[in-house]
Amino acid sequence: MCGIVGYIGERPAAPVLLDGLSKLEYRGYDSAGMAVYDGEKINFAKATGRLKVLSELTHDGETMPGSAGIGHTRWATHGAPTDSNAHPHFNKERTIAVVHNGIIENYVKLKKKLTDKGYEFCSETDTEVVAHLLDYYYTGEPLETVAKIMHRVEGSYALGIIFMDHPDVIYSVRKDSPLIVGRGKDGNLIASDVPAVLKYTREVCFIENEEIAKLSRDGIEFFNVDGDLIEKDFKTIEWDINAAEKGGYEHFMLKEMYEQPKTVRDTMNPRIKDGQIIIDELGMTEEEIRAIRKIHIIACGSAYHTGVTSKYIFEGLARIPVEVDVASEFRYRNPILEEGALVIIISQSGETADSLAALREAKAQGVTTLGIVNVVGSSIAREADKIMYTWAGPEIAVATTKAYSAQLIAQYLLAMKFAQVKGRLSEDGLSEMLRDLKRLPDQIELLLNNKGRIQKFANRYIAAKDVFFIGRGIDYAISLEGSLKLKEISYIHSEAYAAGELKHGTISLIEDGTLVAAVATQDELFKKTVSNIVEVRTRGAFVMAVTNEGNTEIEKNADYVIYIPQTNKYFTNSLAIIPLQLFSYYVSVGKGCDVDKPRNLAKSVTVE
């Protein structure tokens, strides 16, 4: 997500900020900016696009004199990537400058309150409310003011703040967004991540939630939310810059897999209020929802697989018929879109050429389109009639993991909402589903922590030639994604099959020792899938089964079993996919493949 850097010391600040921001580029961004105090006033520069543009604009920082400043790379969430939405943000008099990473969940309410009090906003961001709120509460005592706004702001934040009437200090505070402080010989720094400070210091302190750091040229103090001074330890960083960018993980893919609990929470939490699903941004009335006669889900790759999953949920739960199409097929099959159709386009990047073309085709036929997109301001996000963002943050590894998980959550919420409005989901049913939904992040974490066992198993399959994934219903959708993950990053041929379809051909490929991954999380289909497991096992297959806790009888028929925690039958994909991601990852690592950048693949496919 966004990156923050702050510096106060003996050096000119702007070049330090630009250098630090360049070390945070891996986090993804679409604009950048900085603010530096020059001894009289706070100057600022902002630029849409790459950091290079900001460097050129400021002559590598030379046009911004001063030795105290804050900088930011923005990955758009609220508002498109434009100069005016880029950070820093200011109060009206430009005496308070703020950079922010995170999401202010109650910004609409705060914005209204501040607007009523006469504050004017010049951006579409959630961050700007922080600048005006600081102004509103400012007593002349920055620490007291920062502590005060922490009680008013909900959501996640890491903030870097400069007050012009206290120019020898930078304030910083965090809640649920990362922030570190670096203690250097000729100045002190704040940053979203360690790589940004490593050039200047290896002495780093990790700020905890709701702690405030006060940095001056020659000292750093820490306070709790009550303004009491607290003691904090500094650590010496031993890693090199490359390892630091990946937060200590060997690959971005592993890091992103570990971000899934957070991604799921971020996509879900803002849309659940007082036991109800509120998807305000959809702007769809209950009447409009009731009028939906058919849903078409269109996407590519893994995003398509989330659509295959949600077909079962929209149909099973909301009883709305669903067709799922691969975008490159949809656009050329002269599709029939009748009145009452809703076309849902799912895309992480929001730029996939075929998905975009499918969206345009649907719009040309006059039906309502809804984009489920991760990148704010992307083409699909801009062109779809309705938009629902997944809050996965930028994904670096080509093989998607966390964006996939976020797409599933967005569709669960949508299907539940539609079912409720259509009178197919009672209040009790909804509460039960929400309870299970809220448990998913912890359950995902539990499965991730089991990685050692899966790594050992994966190491036995690095020389595999063919692997088959089988399942029925939602388990078939999970198999599609499990198979794609494996072939994408390990170059092992794999196929996903609807388990009942195996005997119509594919079963002839099963030989002694062929690995078959069988997914069996759907109770009503369990026995049927077990029969298919028996069919392949009697022909020599080695069966790895993924099933729900408690289904121990599967051990009679499978050679290796992975259990997933109990959840609602519609949510099992979110759990069952975790061991399959880990399996693919460790096979790829074991083979020495380029995990994050597999050959021939691109993260964003902008050609047909």
The interface region with ligand G6P, picked from 14-22, 27-35, 301-309, 520-528 by CB under 6 A, is: 301-309
Q: How far apart are CA 472 and CA 10, in angstroms?
A: 65
Q: How far apart are CA 194 and CA 181, in angstroms?
A: 9
Comparing C-alpha atoms, which of 334, 326, 336 is closest to residue 294? 336
Q: How far apart are CA 274 and CA 431, in angstroms?
A: 10
Q: Does 480 bind ligand G6P (CB under 6 A)?
A: no
Of 81 and 195, nearer to ligand G6P (C-beta) is 81
For the record, the structure tokens of 331 come out as 């656009």
Q: Does 355 bind ligand G6P (CB under 6 A)?
A: yes
Query: Which value, to the nearest 10 degrees, does the dihedral of the CA atoms of residues 150, 152, 154, 157 take?
Result: -30
CB of 389 to ligand G6P, least distance (A): 13
Active site residue 2: yes
CB of 398 to ligand G6P, least distance (A): 5
The interface region with ligand G6P, picked from 239-247, 429-437, 537-545, 598-606 by CB under 6 A, is: 598-606
Of 455 and 604, nearer to ligand G6P (C-beta) is 604
Give alpha helix (H) positions in 460-525. Answer: 474-490
CB of 351 to ligand G6P, least distance (A): 7
Of 115 and 606, nearer to ligand G6P (C-beta) is 606
Q: Does 303 bind ligand G6P (CB under 6 A)?
A: yes
* Residue nearest ligand G6P, Cβ-based: 301
On the 0-12 / 13-18 / 19+ scale of CB atoms within 10 A, 283 is exposed
Strand partners, 74: 31
Q: How far apart are CA 236 and CA 201, in angstroms?
A: 9
Q: Does 443 bind ligand G6P (CB under 6 A)?
A: no
Of 35 and 345, nearer to ligand G6P (C-beta) is 345
Q: How far apart are CA 196 and CA 202, in angstroms?
A: 11
Q: Does 601 bind ligand G6P (CB under 6 A)?
A: yes
With CB under 6 A as the contact rule, the residue among 300, 313, 434, 541 that binds ligand G6P is 300
Of 31 and 347, nearer to ligand G6P (C-beta) is 347
Q: Does 397 bind ligand G6P (CB under 6 A)?
A: no
Q: Does 326 bind ligand G6P (CB under 6 A)?
A: no
State the Rg of the chain over Cα. Answer: 25
CB of 556 to ligand G6P, least distance (A): 36
On the 0-12 / 13-18 / 19+ scale of CB atoms within 10 A, 551 is middle
SS3 content of the chain, % helix, strand, coil (to 5): 40, 25, 35
Of 266 and 395, nearer to ligand G6P (C-beta) is 395
Query: Pick the catalytic residue: 2, 205, 300, 593?
Result: 2
Q: Does 605 bind ligand G6P (CB under 6 A)?
A: yes
Peptide bond into 88 cis (omega under 30): yes
Q: Which residues contact 538 (CB under 8 A, 6 or more apart)?
A: none
CB of 360 to ligand G6P, least distance (A): 15
Active site residue 111: no
With CB under 6 A as the contact rule, the residue among 20, 178, 301, 473 that binds ligand G6P is 301
CB of 280 to ligand G6P, least distance (A): 24
Which phi-psi region, left, alpha or beta, contains residue 423 (left: φ > 0; alpha: ψ -120 to 50)? left
Query: Residue 185: enclosing H or E segment and its boundaries?
Result: none
Of 44 and 404, nearer to ligand G6P (C-beta) is 404
CA triplet 211, 120, 98: central angle to 5 degrees? 25
Q: How far apart are CA 110 and CA 132, in angstroms?
A: 10
Q: H/E/C letters for each residue in 128-164?
A: HHHHHHHHHHCCCCHHHHHHHHHHHCCECEEEEEEEC
Q: Does 398 bind ligand G6P (CB under 6 A)?
A: yes
- Greatest CA separation for the chain: 81
Q: Does 409 bind ligand G6P (CB under 6 A)?
A: no
Of 163 and 252, nearer to ligand G6P (C-beta) is 252
The interface region with ligand G6P, picked from 33-41, 344-352, 502-510, 581-589 by CB under 6 A, is: 344-352
Of 27 and 485, nearer to ligand G6P (C-beta) is 485
Give alpha helix (H) positions in 118-274. Answer: 128-137, 142-152, 241-245, 252-258, 260-268
Of 108 and 602, nearer to ligand G6P (C-beta) is 602
Comparing C-alpha atoms, which of 70, 3, 86 is closest to residue 37? 70
Q: Does 347 bind ligand G6P (CB under 6 A)?
A: yes
For the record, the structure tokens of 373 come out as 């997109």
Q: How far apart are CA 411 and CA 370, in angstroms?
A: 11
Residues 74-133 close enough to bind ligand G6P by CB under 6 A: none
CB of 517 to ligand G6P, least distance (A): 19
User: Would you say 486 and 464 are in contact if contact means Cβ atoms under 8 Å apart?
Assistant: no
The interface region with ligand G6P, picked from 53-61, 82-90, 172-180, 295-303 by CB under 6 A, is: 295-303
Q: Does 352 bind ligand G6P (CB under 6 A)?
A: yes
Of 101 and 379, nearer to ligand G6P (C-beta) is 379
With CB under 6 A as the contact rule, the residue among 77, 328, 348, 567 that binds ligand G6P is 348
Site string for ligand G6P, 254-293 (x = CB under 6 A): ----------------------------------------
Q: Does 349 bind ligand G6P (CB under 6 A)?
A: yes
CB of 581 to ligand G6P, least distance (A): 12
Q: Does 400 bind ligand G6P (CB under 6 A)?
A: yes
Query: Pick the catalytic residue: 92, 487, 528, 603?
Result: 603
State how beta strands 322-326 and 89-90 pair: unpaired
CB of 202 to ligand G6P, least distance (A): 36
Query: Residue 322: enclosing H or E segment and its boundaries?
Result: strand 322-326
Binding site for ligand G6P (CB under 6 A): 300-303, 347-349, 352, 355, 398-400, 601, 603-605
Residues labelled as active-site residues:
2, 603
